[in-house]
Amino acid sequence: MSRFRAAALALAAVFVPFAAGAAEQVNVYTYRETKLVQPLFDAFTKDTGIAVNVISASSGLEQRIKAEGADSPADVLLTVDIGRIDDAVAAGISQPINSAVIDEIVPAQFRDPNGQWAGISMRARVIYASKDRVKQEAITYEELADPKWKGKICIRSGQHIYNNALFAAYVAKYGEAKAEEWLRGLKANLAQKPSGGDRETARDVAAGKCDLGIGNTYYWALMLNDPDKKAWADATRVVLPTFEGGGTHVNLSGVVLAKHAPNKANAVKLIEWLVGEKAQQIYADANYEYPIRAGVPLNPIIAGYGKLKPDPLPIAKIAANRKAASTLVDKVGFDN
């Protein structure tokens, strides 16, 4: 049994073996569901001849790579949030990507100043507003604490990585004291205890339990194409909120080059390929995400939300305030 296969079994994760006799390969650990990223890997192999071995898991990949140490088969870690990226760097399992291609294509705010990670695609943290009960076209994040929304907002746990990133952005912009005040105001406006996921916030808006739900952009598109959940999307519309004087909070699907990557050259080829036009179009159409590469057409559903103006706050500053945001969530009893 190969070391890579043994690692996959130990993880109890999904493993997609490489083709027998492949001369070149790259080993990817990913938090993305295999069905979402396999089209990318298949296209990469077709273009380059480099086979992709995949381990997919919902948690624990940073710890696994760290435990494997210098013997780790991991070349690349694909993540679904800046929180995962930050955890990987903190675990000491990354190394600088050092790619002129990445530096040219990925805007500086969406990559690590020290080269330890880079964004591959974007998603925005937005509002699912009731079509029937919310006529307001523009909403700011600051406004979510306004008493006019009392009892009208649904949201998942404040400690979830998606909300943690949004709250960390607020801390980065305004400081901990103002962020605490805002979180208390937002908590006071909740219609119910934070629970479920982003889809469930749309469900609860559709059911009349709240008027505004907080969710990621791609979930709404997925619901629209799911016969069992289409009614939730039909009852809501996506509003792209902004910070006052800024833009819409975005998060990243990102990539880390593993510290002990045994196939480093191929890993860098894959990372660079992922920001190419073909891969970026797959991200847009298969995953309903915003391409990190300028000029790649959006999926029509995502384009229908309106023009996205990403907030200029560097993602690295959001990562730096994750712990403070988490502490404030507990301090105000947000999830109670």
Q: Which domains does the chain have, with CATH numbers?
A: 3-122+251-298 (3.40.190.10), 123-248+310-331 (3.40.190.10)
Residue with tokens 């008027």: 211
| pLDDT tens, position by position, 256-289 | 999 999 999 999 999 999 999 999 999 999 899 9
| pLDDT tens, position by position, 168-211 | 999 999 999 999 999 999 999 999 999 999 999 999 999 999 99
**Of residues 3 and 53, more confidently modeled:** 53
Give the pair of three-digit tokens for residue 226.
């799911």
Sign of CA dihedral 86, 30, 32, 24: positive
Say if strands 236-239 and 51-56 run parallel, antiparallel, or are unpaired.
Answer: unpaired
Give the pair of three-digit tokens for residue 84.
């995962």
Q: Are 121 and 283 in contact (CB under 8 A)?
A: yes
Average pLDDT over residues 241-245: 97
Average pLDDT, the chain: 92
* pTM, full prediction: 0.90
| pLDDT tens, position by position, 96-127 | 999 999 999 999 999 999 999 999 999 999 99
**Of residues 15 and 301, more confidently modeled:** 301
Closest CA to 190 of 226, 241, 136, 153: 153
Q: How confident is the model at residue 299 (pLDDT cuts 50, 70, 90)?
A: very high
Calculate what percentage of the chain has a pLDDT beyond 90.
88
Say if strands 118-130 and 236-239 run parallel, antiparallel, or are unpaired.
Answer: antiparallel
pLDDT at 9 over 80: no
**Of residues 165 and 4, more confidently modeled:** 165
Residue 222, pLDDT score: 95
Q: How confident is the model at residue 20 (pLDDT cuts 50, 70, 90)?
A: very low
d(Cα 174, Cα 208) in Å, to the nearest integer? 33
Q: How confident is the model at residue 5 (pLDDT cuts 50, 70, 90)?
A: very low
* DSSP secondary structure letter of residue 127: E
- The answer to whether 219 is a known ligand-binding residue is yes
CB-based contacts of 201, cutoff 8 Å, min separation 6 = 128, 154, 155, 156, 210, 213, 214, 215
Closest CA to 239 of 214, 219, 209, 222: 214
d(Cα 111, Cα 107) in Å, to the nearest integer? 7
- The answer to whether 290 is a known ligand-binding residue is no
Average pLDDT over residues 313-324: 96
Residue 121, pLDDT score: 96
